[in-house]
Structure 1
């Protein structure tokens, strides 16, 4: 069961996983050892899945975002697993979601420039049959990040 301090710790860690335990403890009004124990408990309980570094996409040379909407005529477990394996091997595909509605999947693809999308597209369609793929280029990021709301956790 999480309390308000746990939620504040989680909120601060997801904004800056590199924050020192000393600074974190001070901000949530705990001793360093108590704060450290709480972080360890949150890791052991799975509330903290992992700690990562978020890279600057401009500096890494992949400033362009393309969203590809995929339709398929195949819905078997075998096809889905093959598709999952194919897209997992393409590092430019940073997110993939199975959808309800008119499309089956959406892929978030980060690229050095929009023309590179064709390279990724060909990597996929050479390996698996798709019914339709339509792509949209992100013109501007209005909201981004990795933080999720912490108020719903038990």
Structure 2
């Protein structure tokens, strides 16, 4: 009989698990050998912990961060989108369409005076104009307000990895 590993909750992570998560978050390409050295474990227990963290959903994916400017995306825009009506069909369709646009890097349904906050990229102002026009034409959208980023002060997707107090 195969013994199923128990799912972990955040408060069940020990300091070694947190160290592993910190190291992987800063360098997803680290080898198990280098990781085990840095967290003071032998390779097999380190690998087992790493795999357990993956299986329990603490590690969702590994990815490469591309240089936006080298890829030709000189414009970053934060766009607020409002709906007059919050019919489920309209908002579901909006979310489905937005999820399909690669140039929308982030989309959050938010509280306050607007319904959604998007972050998108464009190569130039003409492309930005085309993209905003596409968003404006989505059924249900009644207002769009955009803010073009002048300077990126901080860009980081790392989460704080700390023990629960």
Q: TM-score range by the shorter chain?
A: over 0.9
**Cross-structure match for 1:121:** 132
Bigger Rg, which one: 2
Helix, strand or coil: the match of 1:131?
Answer: strand
Q: Distance in 2 between matches of 1:43 and 1:2?
A: 13
Aligned residues: 154
**Cross-structure match for 1:68:** 79
Any runs of at least 4 consecutive aligned residues in structure 1 with deviations exceeding 4 A, and if so which? none
Unmatched 5+ stretches in structure 2: 1-11
Q: Distance in 2 between matches of 1:30 and 1:114?
A: 52
TM-score, scaled relative to structure 1: 0.93
**Cross-structure match for 1:24:** 35
**Cross-structure match for 1:110:** 121
**What is the deviation of 1:153?**
6.1
- Residue-by-residue CA offset, 1:31-72 (whole Å, 9 max, x unaligned): 111111110000011111111111111111113210001111
Helix, strand or coil: the match of 1:110?
Answer: strand
Q: Distance in 2 between matches of 1:93 and 1:117?
A: 11
TM-score, scaled relative to structure 2: 0.87
Instruction: Tell me the C-alpha RMSD between the 2 structures.
Output: 1.5
Answer yes or no: is the 8 Å Cα contact 2:80–2:144 preserved in 1. yes
